[in-house]
Copies of this chain bind each other. A is one copy, B any other.
Amino acid sequence: MADVNPVLLDEQLCFSIYSASKKFNHFYQSALAPFGLTYPQYIAMLVLWEKAPLTVHQLGERLELDSGTLTPLLKRLEKQGWVTRVRSQTDERQVLIHLTEMATTKRDEVYSRIGQCQTLLGMSSEEIDSMMTELVTVKQQLDTVSNDRLITKEVDRVN
């Protein structure tokens, strides 16, 4: 353990991203307060507004969330009148998430609100594209290294 470099918080990309993620969530959650949507609820609605109905599994694939997170989240969305949860007729294991009339009605109001937020942020599409491209690269790397279930052994081997 002779040649070890210190790990400084301010130099960690992970923390920069972690911190930005929390700020974004807070930003949109505030902006959507009039609709009573939390950030995860909002992105779930985004997916459903693109295409509904979807099964819990399909929704989870888009959001990268599992049923342990989605089941209670969707129950809250149902209680607040955004969606209905219906057991599939053709496959009783599946639960189909449908939009309510209220959700369809409010869609454009939410879209509009988000559009205004994006304007406020004042980022050019070039800036946004550039960041998203870089993020895709990082995420691919993280997936590759993580899905490689050898991560523990790989790291140990470097020792």
Contact = CB atoms under 8 A, between A and B. Distances in A.
Interface of A: 1, 4-9, 12-28, 30-31, 33-34, 39, 43, 46-47, 49-50, 62-64, 108-117, 119-123, 127-128, 130-132, 134-139, 141-143, 145-146, 151-152, 154-155, 158-159
B155 A4 contact: no
A19 B16 CA distance: 13
B155 A141 contact: no
Contacts of A39: 14, 18
A137 B8 CA distance: 20
Main SS at interface, chain A? helix
B20 A139 contact: yes
Nearest to A135: B16
A12 B114 CA distance: 10
Nearest to A24: B14
Given A24-B17, A27-B145, A50 B9 contact: yes
Given A24-B142, A50-B9, A120-B154, A17 B111 contact: no
Contacts of A50: 6, 8-9
Contact of A114 (B7, B136, B137): B7
